[in-house]
Amino acid sequence: MTIETPVPTAEKTQVSRRGVLGSAGALMIGLVMPGPARREMIAAAAGVSASVNAWVQIASNETVTLFISCAEMGQGIMTGLAQILAEDLMVDWTKVRVVAAPTDAVYNNPAFGMQATGGSSAVAGYYTPLRQSGAAARDMLLAAAAQTWGVTPSQCTVSNGVVTRTGTTQTLTYGQLAALAATMPVPTNPVLTPDNLLRLIGKPIKRVDLPLKVNGKAVYGIDVRVPGMVYAAIKHPPAYGGTVASVASNPNVVNLGNAVAVVADNTWKAIQSARSLSVQWTIPSASSSMTSASILTQAQQLMTSGPALVAETVGDAAGNMGLATKKLDVTYQFPFLAHACMEPLNCTVDLKTDSCTVWAPTQAQTLVQSTASTITGLPISAITVKPTFLGGGLGRKFELDFITQALQIAVAIKKPVKLTWSREEDFSNDWYRPFALVRVQAGLDANNNVVSWIYRNVSESILAQHGYIDHGVEDSQATEGATGLSYNFMSRLVDWVEHPATVPVGFWRSVGNSINAYAVESAIDELALLAGIDPLALRQQLLVNDPRSLAVVNAAAQMANWGTPPASGHARGIAFCNSFGTLVCHVVDVSNPSKYSVRVNNVWTAVDCGRAINPNQVEAQIQGGIIHGMTGALWGQIPINKGMSTVKNFSNYRMARMSDMPKVQVQIINSGQPIGGMGEPGVPPIGPAIAAAYYRLTGTRVRNLPFFPGAPGGGDS
């Protein structure tokens, strides 16, 4: 098993369409999509430039190349999708080579209609088409063997890339069969390997990218080097929405209108020059007066006055509140949060007269291509987007600001250029998780039924700010995690009020779920206390009609020995969330509260993602989601003053570190339900699980996040 990622100066595998079929002795098969089957067969022909639209390539030397369409940002997708593709192909896994696919419509994520990585959608979106592609290729290889021997395919068997004629010792290898197989018709409905014979799917296959990630060979966007390139740094306005009023003319300075770039012969010089550069800015008055306090005040007014857009309503929630014998009315407050990807934003552009190559750690390959076309004026066909590893994506690298800037700089200076943002620019100019205010009103009757659930979220609109929807229209991102809850409330009303603040907001790992799950699950915990019953028992009661959710909650509780008393000085909490089609329940054990922290000793997690493709990586995503959620809930906050983040670096943005890492145990439930995502669902329930435990430990209910504002960021050891 090897992996190939783009190295800037290396020639990429290039293949052409059917015109050169067979000349290279290779088989390629396009994605077998539902609906009209894709019939193209394309062959490998190194050096021939053409659009690539294939997933599997088998060369005469037995090398099997799998093209992986998604961005590898740590979630192990290059391995996961390769497992799916290789399963029905019945290939020798040790001979598989995994290659990051270029940007082409054939690689579009069925969940998006474009090539993009996000929304925990990769495995769910590509699972069926990739299995069909692998199986179709296998059947074509079998058909080629059968034709060679003058027998029917049913008289042939295949194992590890070798076809055997039944009842004989005759064999043919995939490499020998590839050229002939490429001429066989593409089967429209190939038989998939039955579950009990799966060799790769469901197995903890070692990740294909890790050998490169322990010796410095992995090429991230920031590592790209192009001959003759210069290095650029960026300087943004001191408040959001600012524009350049004036900047002195200088051949190394590029005025981008809403920012200024400086180029130099290394990154350090560029960053230093950008810092010291004098720029006059025009700042919108609404921005210069914007502070965390003004945003909160406005949110409190909007919470009362609306106007609210209804996201979900079942029954008469307002009327039913009259049936309640006990009522909860609580408001939770969430700060802006930064993504803080370990790899700062960067993009490299090599613009020539008739072509443009872009290297970027991006989650939005298709959008990078179209952006490059727009800025350079070149046709899409002249734009090559080269995938690189991402040093974290987390939703930040779905954005196009850093891509746009690098392209604009390249157009202006007419040299290959790599733009690298300083960490200070990254923290100051993020598309943050939105500030939100959430009010939950709930009523219990005498039997502890939740007779009414009224939920309102006030926050900026991510989708409107990006131009995906109009302002004043319901934004699904704002209420995800608050709608479609599994709990059998007797009535419910979920609505949202758009906050008009102009702080840039975006997609932060699990997006609305991380906000709404905190409010929903904390409110459930508070309802249990109000009812005087155990929070697990209340959830069991509310999930009585949802056996799948109930199984997840019960599994986590059992792992944690829920019901037995915690150790002295410890407390437990539980929370559940169904996001991206995956159900996660965390139970936590906490102790040792202090001014700026609480020790999270253990997390017991049950997860049902339908089917785990690689259980080791499911576990890794749960571990990572817990840390991401802990950073966000315990310490994360981007305060705003005069229209700008006051956080500039990790020194005042406390991240979870080694000493914060709880012992995480994960139980995977393969329910056989439709496959859900794994990149994000570990995040939402960890904050409220800790909040529930923290209340029992300290008597303090944390309704204003973070738990520990002002915690020092920490420094050198």
Partner 1 sequence: MVTLNVNGQAYQVNADLGTPLLWVLRDIIGLTGTKYGCGIEVCGACTVLVNGEAERSCDMDLSEAVGRKITTVEGLSTDNSHPLQKAWIAQQVPQCGYCQSGMLMACASMMKSNPNPTDAEINAEINNICVCGTYQRIRAGIHTAAKL
Q: Which one of 247, 529, 655, 669 is in contact with partner 1 (CB under 8 A)? A: 655
Nearer to partner 1 by Cβ, of 222 and 444: the residue is 222
Report which of 234, 485, 438 is spatially closest to residue 332, judged by C-alpha positions. 438
* Peptide bond just before 706 cis, omega within 30 deg: yes
Q: Which one of 10, 50, 105, 210 is in contact with partner 1 (CB under 8 A)? A: 210
Q: Binding segment for partner 1 among 56-64, 250-258, 699-707, 708-716 (CB under 8 A)?
A: 708-716
Distances from the Cα of 590 to the Cαs of 287, 554, 567, 698, in angstroms? 41, 20, 10, 10
* Residue 234 binds to partner 1 (criterion: CB under 8 A): no
Sort 276 into a burial class: Cβ within 10 Å, 0-12 / 13-18 / 19+. Answer: exposed
Q: How far is the CB of 325 from partner 1 (least distance, A)?
A: 43
Q: How far is the CB of 616 from partner 1 (least distance, A)?
A: 6
Q: Binding segment for partner 1 among 173-181, 288-296, 388-396, 462-470 (CB under 8 A)?
A: 388-396
In 15-78, beta strands by DSSP E: 15-16, 27-29, 43-44, 56-58, 64-68
Report which of 1, 14, 125 is spatially closest to residue 69, judged by C-alpha positions. 125
* Residue 439 binds to partner 1 (criterion: CB under 8 A): no
Contact by Cβ (8 Å): 299, 435:
yes
Q: How far is the CB of 635 from partner 1 (least distance, A)?
A: 12
* Residue 467 binds to partner 1 (criterion: CB under 8 A): no
Q: Which one of 5, 365, 420, 452 is in contact with partner 1 (CB under 8 A)? A: 420
* Vertex 126: Cα angle to 125 and 130 (nearest 5): 160
Nearer to partner 1 by Cβ, of 572 and 628: the residue is 628
Distances from the Cα of 577 to the Cαs of 330, 482, 691, in angstroms? 20, 10, 15
* Residue 145 binds to partner 1 (criterion: CB under 8 A): no
Q: How far is the CB of 597 from partner 1 (least distance, A)?
A: 13
Nearer to partner 1 by Cβ, of 215 and 276: the residue is 215
* Residue 520 binds to partner 1 (criterion: CB under 8 A): no
* Residue 455 binds to partner 1 (criterion: CB under 8 A): no
Instruction: Compute the distance between CA of residue 338 and CA of residue 350 in angstroms, rounded to an integer.
Output: 30
* Residue 94 binds to partner 1 (criterion: CB under 8 A): no
Instruction: Compute the distance between CA of residue 650 and CA of residue 642 in angstroms, rounded to an integer.
Output: 21
- Pattern 180-209, binding to partner 1, x per CB under 8 A? --------------------------xx-x
Q: Which one of 624, 676, 677, 687 is in contact with partner 1 (CB under 8 A)? A: 624
* Residue 713 binds to partner 1 (criterion: CB under 8 A): yes
Site residues (CB under 8 A) for partner 1, limited to 65-84: 73-76
Q: How many residues of this chain bind partner 1 (CB under 8 A)?
A: 69
Nearer to partner 1 by Cβ, of 342 and 446: the residue is 342
Instruction: Compute the distance between CA of residue 136 and CA of residue 31 in angstroms, rounded to an integer.
Output: 10
- Pattern 584-623, binding to partner 1, x per CB under 8 A? --------------------------------xx--x--x
Report which of 633, 647, 119, 624 is spatially closest to residue 395, judged by C-alpha positions. 119
Q: Which one of 98, 234, 442, 656 is in contact with partner 1 (CB under 8 A)? A: 656
Residues with Cβ < 8 Å from 703, sequence gap 6 or more?
330, 331, 332, 333, 522
Q: Which one of 6, 344, 506, 706 is in contact with partner 1 (CB under 8 A)? A: 344
Q: Binding segment for partner 1 among 10-18, 485-493, 537-545, 644-652 (CB under 8 A)?
A: 644-652
End-to-end CA gap in the chain: 38
Nearer to partner 1 by Cβ, of 217 and 414: the residue is 217
Nearer to partner 1 by Cβ, of 423 and 466: the residue is 423
* Residue 635 binds to partner 1 (criterion: CB under 8 A): no
Q: How many helices (H) and strands (E) does the chain have?
A: 17, 30
Nearer to partner 1 by Cβ, of 146 and 349: the residue is 349
Q: Sheet harboring 582-591: ordered strands across?
A: 570-579, 582-591, 599-608, 663-668
Query: Using the 8-state DSSP alphabet, how is residue 220 labeled?
Result: B
Instruction: Compute the distance between CA of residue 566 and CA of residue 589 in angstroms, rounded to an integer.
Output: 8
Q: For tokens 């020092």, what's the residue? A: 712
DSSP percent split of the chain into helix, strand, coil, nearest 5: 30, 25, 45
Nearer to partner 1 by Cβ, of 140 and 664: the residue is 664
Site residues (CB under 8 A) for partner 1, limited to 659-678: 659-661, 663-664
Q: How far is the CB of 543 from partner 1 (least distance, A)?
A: 28
Nearer to partner 1 by Cβ, of 348 and 461: the residue is 348
* Residue 271 binds to partner 1 (criterion: CB under 8 A): yes
* Residue 170 binds to partner 1 (criterion: CB under 8 A): no
DSSP 93-126: GGGEEEEE--S-GGG-BTTTTBS---TT-HHHHH
Q: How far is the CB of 103 from partner 1 (least distance, A)?
A: 20
User: In which region does residue 65 sit, left (phi positive, over 0), alpha (psi from -120 to 50) or beta (all else)?
Assistant: beta
Contact by Cβ (8 Å): 10, 359:
no
Q: How far is the CB of 651 from partner 1 (least distance, A)?
A: 5
Token pair, residue 710, equals: 């002002």
* Residue 223 binds to partner 1 (criterion: CB under 8 A): yes
Residue type, 148: T
Nearer to partner 1 by Cβ, of 197 and 214: the residue is 214
Instruction: Compute the distance between CA of residue 73 and CA of residue 221 in angstroms, rounded to an integer.
Output: 11
Q: How far is the CB of 287 from partner 1 (least distance, A)?
A: 27
* Vertex 427: Cα angle to 596 and 391 (nearest 5): 100
Q: For tokens 């995977």, what's the residue? A: 668
Nearer to partner 1 by Cβ, of 214 and 248: the residue is 214
Token pair, residue 716, equals: 């050198």
Q: Binding segment for partner 1 among 81-89, 255-263, 390-398, 698-706 (CB under 8 A)?
A: 390-398
Nearer to partner 1 by Cβ, of 340 and 528: the residue is 340
* Residue 416 binds to partner 1 (criterion: CB under 8 A): no
Give the footprint of partner 1 on this chain (CB under 8 A): 73-76, 206-207, 209-220, 222-223, 225, 231, 266-269, 271, 340-344, 389-394, 420, 422-424, 616-617, 620, 623-628, 631, 649-651, 655-661, 663-664, 713-717
